[in-house]
Amino acid sequence: MKRDNDSKDSNYKMTIVVPVYNELANIPRLGITLLEYLTQSKVKSKVLFIDDGSTDGSFNEIERLCTDNPNLNYIKFSHNCGLSSAIKAGIDHCNTELLGYIDADLQTTPFDFDKLLAYIDDYEAVIGIRNKRNDSWNKKIQSLLANNIRRALINDGIIDTGCPLKVIKTTVAQAIPFFDGLHRFIPAMIQLQHGRIKQVPVQHFKRKAGTSKFNIFNRSFKPLQDTFAFRWMRSRYINYKIEKTDIY
């Protein structure tokens, strides 16, 4: 029997959110790898798949994986809403102290969550830096350009904001005001809350199956638009600290 995902689940400490969009060829290996990690995770963890309106049969495989497995759950969107929406849904439905995030393509490995978890007690978020990236030169150049533009415009000090391996304290993640494209600025949004961030090198692998959903438009031009949107929002962000109150 599945657990109720609406209330606080003290049996687990971390929920691993995995957005999925048309990754049918990756799902079997993804399921095996995640289940292997759960058996040796540094903290007791579970997985929440977010199917972002897949049209290739990915959800059928996700549903099969989750059947009768209390450590695996899913949310299925009625249509494709985009990566930011999928991440937000995972954050909204997380009922554990910690939230982990990883992409379904397994270009990063869940086993590196333990590297991030080693620091999470002292930080609001611990994020990966993809070490020795195994991508095409075209993809590397696009990502380098996007990262350089973002750092120049917002100066957040984040080396690899696009690394799809993160551990965040859930209360911090749930306080982030989301908009489309915000997944690129999660660390910067945490900094707006005066959150402390640790960056840790993690492994990076070639994509073994499926195809990337990103191109020069959504790696370069759209991030530039989103960066200006973030700058505008940061300049008007409300952040206060209460010194004293008689409300109990």
102, with CB counted inside 10 A (0-12, 13-18, 19+), is buried
Res. 181: pLDDT tops 50:
yes
Domain boundaries in the chain? 14-235
> Tens of pLDDT along 116-136?
999 999 999 999 999 877 666
pTM of the model: 0.83
Give the pLDDT confidence score for residue 233 in this predicted structure.
Answer: 74
Determine the distance from the C-alpha atom of residue 127 to the mean position of all C-alpha atoms in its chain, rounded to a whole number.
9
- Asked whether the predicted pLDDT for residue 216 surpasses 60, the reply is no
Q: Is the pLDDT of residue 1 over 50?
A: no
DSSP β-bridge partners for residue 102: 165
| pLDDT at residue number 140 | 62
Mean per-residue pLDDT, 24-43: 96
Type of residue numbered 29: R
- The CA distance from 3 to 44, in Å, is 15
In whole angstroms, give the CA distance from residue 111 to residue 40.
Answer: 9
Q: What is the pLDDT of residue 161?
A: 83
Predicted local confidence at residue 9, as pLDDT = 67
Please identify, in words, the CATH class of the domain defined by 14-235. Answer: alpha beta
pLDDT number for residue 138? 63
User: Residue 128: which of 211, 35, 197 has the closest Cα?
Assistant: 197
Q: Of 61-65, 80-84, 181-185, give the lowest mean pLDDT range.
A: 181-185
Give the chain's mean pLDDT: 86
Buried b (16+ CB within 10 A) or exposed e, 47-80: bbbbbbbbeeebbebbeebbeeeebbbbbebeee
Given pLDDT bands bounded at 50, 70 and 90, which one contains residue 209?
confident
Q: Chain centroid to CA 136: how far?
A: 22
Sign of CA dihedral 227, 212, 108, 10: positive
